[in-house]
A and B are shown apart, each in its own frame.
Chain A
């Protein structure tokens, strides 16, 4: 991993993405990210939680599907339905 020394208000460029150190207090570092809007920027731990949930979700089995019905607040009827191109 490339490790660079930066002071407050100094930045690095990753392609066209700028990462700025805006403040340092003890073991807290404030980081600003200037990135095109199409580049998602997330805290690593949130990304990791969703990734872990997706992996667990992909392993879901049908065995307990019938138990779901009692747990969901079902509105009888078509609901959101399946997106159809013809809509």
Chain B
């Protein structure tokens, strides 16, 4: 399908590349169809562009880029909602919020996006009883001298 987007101009998204979030995203329940915009210069982040509202796009990244050992407890019913039996089958993304400036970049670790890559179905999951924050501030990189092998604990 062809869509005009605010950030990327016209996009031609093959039907097989459309990602469906049947419940939409929280606060964006009417936006159920998305495309992942993968721009080499933006890696390791991708844009999740709404195909329903041209101005709506979210910045996603692999949670491993934010915290080393992200282990969300996703309930079975959340997995079943997108046709999965285990989290191992899923692709996990977290949203980045790039607001006023580089010091204000946060990641939403409490509401990750879980995607069934086979059927291209997704769901924003709200973790229960979780210590992960919805407003996780991205830490400044450690100084280069910190390469002593003692990485952050899992």
Which A residues form the contact surface with B (CB < 8 A)?
Answer: 37-38, 40, 42, 46-47, 49-62, 64-65, 67-75, 79-85, 87
Contact = CB atoms under 8 A, between A and B. Distances in A.
A5 B26 CA distance: 31
B111 A64 contact: no
Given A50-B26, A50-B110, A67 B102 contact: yes
B10 interface: no
Contacts, number: 139
26 contacts: A50-B26, A50-B124, A51-B26, A54-B25, A54-B27, A54-B111, A56-B99, A57-B97, A58-B57, A62-B7, A64-B105, A65-B98, A69-B44, A71-B102, A72-B61, A72-B138, A73-B67, A79-B44, A80-B62, A80-B64, A82-B38, A82-B46, A83-B19, A83-B36, A85-B120, A87-B118
**Chain B interface mostly:** mixed
Nearest to A81: B91
Given A38-B77, A56-B97, A68 B45 contact: yes
Contacts of A80: 62, 64, 91-93
A71 B142 CA distance: 9
Contact of B108 (A50, A71, A72, A81): A50
Nearest to A60: B98
Contacts of A83: 19, 36, 91, 115, 117, 120
B110 A84 contact: no
